[in-house]
Amino acid sequence: MVRSTCLVLTLICIALAALVAPAAVAAQNDVSTHYLLARPLPASANVRPDMGFPYGWHRNHQSPIHHGMDYLNRRGTPVIAAGGGTVFYAGNDTEMIVGPQPNFYGNVVILQHDLSAPEGGTIFTLYGHLNSIDVQTGQTVNQGDVIGRVGATGIAIGSHLHFEVRVGNPTDYNAVRNPELWYPPLPGRGKIIGRIVDVNGNLAMGIRFVLSTASSVLPSFTYAEPSIPVDPMYGENFVYGDLGAGCYRLRVRGGSGYAYDEPICINAGQTIFLEVHLKS
């Protein structure tokens, strides 16, 4: 009964989406995903990452290039395991260096998951700037277990959770992937995995782009340096998640106008891959 109701609702949604879809939209494709993890915070917290400082961005050289995503939350907010596994390390990163310098992440937890990336390599998750740590190295955890509390230890501007996904080597600062590629969009929302390419066919680095509707403008940035690892499955240079279902214009400024300005539509629960070719 539940299954047949869901099927009917799905068909209605598909029919409605077809009715409201504009005649001409940018080429887009559903893409296979590897959503193997959950978010690192409970639903009662702010679970949406700060898209003003996404993975791969350096705030116009005002910050070290970002190897994870930030989730702005009050000090003391519970942080949960994004997947089941074992605590690889729990402590301060002055004792074990896992970043570009000692005491970069402050109080940090690294979990080793019983999962592998599609290209091979064990998946690890890192939780930085914690106010306090609730687990010990070697301990087994289940997805959703509280492992610590949000804080601002190490090098942090304000209280937030810094979350990373690392593949293969848990202590390698350069073994990262964009965390947004590892968990699904929130219910009722969708996600774009994208490549913005310049006129020479190269990934366009550090480009500001906006996703806009009639009533809102959502800005973000592509990865700023070629050194930031991309996912071998996508070769992406940005990911924008938790987009409300509907149609947007994706715009990149260039010259006296736009180097790109095309519509893009996304359905609830959909992840699409988009390649953008800049005209200038």
Residues that bind Zn ion (CB under 5 A): 68, 70, 162
Is residue 126 within 8 Å of 166, Cβ to Cβ?
Answer: yes
Structure tokens at 7: 């099927």
Give 56 or 68: the residue with its C-beta nearer to Zn ion: 68
Structure tokens at 151: 């804080």
Using DSSP, state whether 5 is helix, strand or coil.
helix
Is residue 222 within 8 Å of 230, Cβ to Cβ?
Answer: no
Give 50 or 275: the residue with its C-beta nearer to Zn ion: 50
Please state the closest distance from residue 161 (CB atom) to Zn ion, in A: 8
Please state the closest distance from residue 246 (CB atom) to Zn ion, in A: 29
Give 108 or 197: the residue with its C-beta nearer to Zn ion: 108
Of 206, 202, 210, nearest to 275 (Cα)? 202
**DSSP code for 76:** T
- CB-closest chain residue to Zn ion: 162
Please state the closest distance from residue 223 (CB atom) to Zn ion, in A: 14
Please state the closest distance from residue 162 (CB atom) to Zn ion, in A: 3
Residue 32, Cβ density class (10 Å: 0-12 exposed, 13-18 middle, ≥19 buried):
exposed
- The single residue listed with the structure tokens 């996703």 is 211
Give 53 or 209: the residue with its C-beta nearer to Zn ion: 53
Please state the closest distance from residue 229 (CB atom) to Zn ion, in A: 15
Of 173, 238, 174, 251, nearest to 210 (Cα)? 251
Give 179 or 190: the residue with its C-beta nearer to Zn ion: 179
